[in-house]
């Protein structure tokens, strides 16, 4: 019998198509009247809709959100914030914009409202990852957690298929690591398995039906559930490797998650066979017949997602130093992480090897 502690998220969630129309009411509910709108270069349509919905509450904008939340970008946005005496942060976009909002909130104490346009899930966590001098570090504080999240399904309809696939796999990674986290509990287990199942059913349809409201709703609800899981548990090998690769090499966040996930699962499978069986059941057939790591690998490949770090532009020479970085600090993981083990995971990910048995020992095939 396991012992656990569970603290429900305090984030207010507004979900559904057209919910951007409620943003002014939600800002005022936070007691705010002067909004700084944060965005990135790929969310012009969503930002325009938010401008219209905010009306006179919109005081200033910053459109330079960047991957992995570089501290210099945060300081640039902070200057805009200070110059306009804003009292609320509204973020439109994926994990990059959400990360910027969190970084500003933890520095200023301002309330934050997030409108996701991807399936990143970070809007449901009190976790902040920031990059300085080529190293990405994370911290968790209550003040990092957004106050309100508006999930407007309409904002995901124009998300490109390739990014949709990788972003959804990012959500799967949150759910899978939650299942074998030391903080796992019946509540997060249920949400994690539901998220995996929803994504496994919806992802094969996204290329053929990218504008289908039902498919997009399934993926966004799954991302929300997986984000809750990520917000209540610690992260393991998968997230550690992705953060190391992003901070050191600037690899694209969602695509890196898609490549690393099945390989990190294969490394951990020998330590958590029962969890892998639960993932197999959530995947369903025929994906489940291959085993959990291979099933996830096949799901990504069949949906057109990347399967190797080489295709993301990583050099083979970077494998060993990134592995050493990932193994330097102990962190919860079902199986002990060594530099040798991390290097084997990265090498398989660099080559794009399909996990065959669902488990491997470093140095052996």
CATH number at residue 182: 1.20.1090.10
- Domain ends where: 156, 174, 199? 156
Contact between 254 and 169 under an 8 Å Cβ cutoff? The reply is: yes
Contact between 144 and 106 under an 8 Å Cβ cutoff? The reply is: yes
Q: Is 206 among the domain residues?
A: yes
- Domain ends where: 129, 156, 183? 156
Sign of CA dihedral 316, 318, 320, 326: negative
Return d(Cα 65, Cα 57) in angstroms, integer: 21
Return d(Cα 283, Cα 297) in angstroms, integer: 12
For residue 339 the two structure tokens come to: 């530099």
Q: Is 357 among the domain residues?
A: no
Q: Is 55 among the domain residues?
A: yes
CA R_g for the chain:
20
Return d(Cα 187, Cα 184) in angstroms, integer: 8
Distance of CA 130 to the CA centre of its chain: 14
Q: Is 363 among the domain residues?
A: no
Q: State residue 357's pLDDT score.
A: 54
Please report how the helices 161-179 and 292-302 are oriented relative to each other, as an axis angle in degrees rounded to 10. Answer: 170
Give the closest residue to 148 by CA, choosing from 112, 96, 109, 95.
112
Q: Which helix (H) or strand (E) holds 90?
A: strand 88-93
Q: Is 235 among the domain residues?
A: yes
* Same-domain check for residues 331 and 298: yes
Q: Residue 58 maps to which CATH number?
A: 3.40.50.1970
**Could you tell me which residues come within 8 angstroms of residue 182 by beta carbon, excluding any fewer than 6 positions away?**
233, 234, 332
For residue 74 the two structure tokens come to: 């945060």
Query: How many domains does the chain fold into?
Result: 2
- Domain ends where: 106, 136, 156? 156
* Same-domain check for residues 151 and 173: no
Q: State residue 84's pLDDT score.
A: 98
* Same-domain check for residues 184 and 325: yes
Contact between 107 and 78 under an 8 Å Cβ cutoff? The reply is: yes
Q: State residue 1's pLDDT score.
A: 61
Q: State residue 267's pLDDT score.
A: 97
How would you class 294 by CB atoms within 10 Å of its CB: exposed for 0-12, middle for 13-18, buried for 19 or more? buried
Return d(Cα 107, Cα 340) in angstroms, integer: 38
- DSSP-based three-state secondary structure for 181: coil
Q: State residue 359's pLDDT score.
A: 47
Q: Is 364 among the domain residues?
A: no
Q: State residue 306's pLDDT score.
A: 97
In the DSSP assignment, the letter for residue 159 is S
Return d(Cα 179, Cα 189) in angstroms, integer: 6
Per-residue pLDDT of the chain (365 residues; tens, 9 = 90+): 678 888 888 899 999 999 999 999 999 999 999 999 999 988 888 999 999 999 999 999 999 999 989 999 999 999 999 999 999 999 999 999 999 999 999 999 999 999 999 998 999 999 999 999 888 888 989 999 999 999 999 999 999 999 999 999 999 999 999 999 999 999 999 999 999 999 999 999 998 899 999 999 999 999 999 999 988 888 899 999 998 898 889 899 899 999 999 999 999 999 999 999 999 999 998 888 999 999 999 999 999 999 999 999 999 999 999 999 989 888 899 999 999 999 999 999 999 999 975 445 454 33
93: β partners: 116
Return d(Cα 283, Cα 197) in angstroms, integer: 6
Contact between 181 and 232 under an 8 Å Cβ cutoff? The reply is: no
Return d(Cα 248, Cα 219) in angstroms, integer: 30
Range of the domain at 235: 166-351
């Amino acid at each position: 019998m396991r012992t656990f502690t569970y603290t429900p998220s305090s984030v207010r969630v507004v979900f559904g198509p057209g919910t951007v129309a409620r943003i002014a009411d939600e800002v005022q509910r936070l007691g705010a009247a002067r909004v700084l709108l944060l965005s990135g270069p790929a969310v012009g349509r969503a930002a325009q809709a938010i401008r219209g919905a905010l009306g006179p509450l919109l005081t200033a904008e910053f459109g330079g959100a960047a991957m992995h939340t570089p501290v210099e970008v945060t300081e640039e946005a902070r200057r805009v914030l200070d110059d306009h005496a804003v009292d609320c942060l509204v973020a439109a976009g994926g994990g990059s914009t959400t990360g910027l909002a969190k970084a500003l909130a933890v520095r200023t104490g301002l309330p934050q409202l997030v409108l996701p346009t991807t399936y990143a899930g970070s809007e449901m966590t009190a976790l902040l990852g920031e990059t300085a001098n080529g190293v990405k570090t994370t911290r968790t504080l209550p003040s990092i957690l957004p106050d309100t999240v508006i999930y407007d399904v309409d904002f995901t309809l124009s998300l490109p298929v390739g990014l949709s696939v990788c972003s959804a796999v990012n959500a799967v990674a949150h759910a899978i690591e939650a299942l074998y986290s030391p903080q796992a509990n019946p509540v997060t287990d249920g949400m994690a398995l539901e998220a995996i199942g929803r994504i496994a059913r919806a992802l094969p349809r996204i290329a053929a039906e990218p504008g289908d409201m039902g498919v997009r709703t399934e993926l966004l609800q799954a991302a929300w559930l997986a984000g809750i899981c990520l917000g209540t548990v610690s992260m393991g090998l998968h997230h550690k490797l992705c953060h190391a690769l992003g901070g050191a090499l600037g690899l694209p966040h969602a695509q890196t998650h898609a490549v690393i996930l099945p390989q990190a699962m294969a490394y951990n499978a020998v330590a958590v066979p029962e969890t892998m069986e639960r993932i197999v059941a959530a995947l369903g057939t025929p994906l489940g017949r291959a085993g959990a790591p291979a099933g996830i690998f096949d799901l990504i490949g069949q949906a057109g997602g990347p399967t190797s770090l080489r295709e993301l532009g990583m050099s083979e020479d970077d494998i060993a130093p990134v592995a050493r970085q990932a193994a330097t600090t102990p962190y919860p993981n079902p199986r002990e992480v060594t530099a040798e083990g991390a290097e084997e995971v990265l090498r398989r990910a660099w080559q794009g090897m399909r996990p065959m048995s669902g488990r491997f020992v470093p140095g052996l095939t």
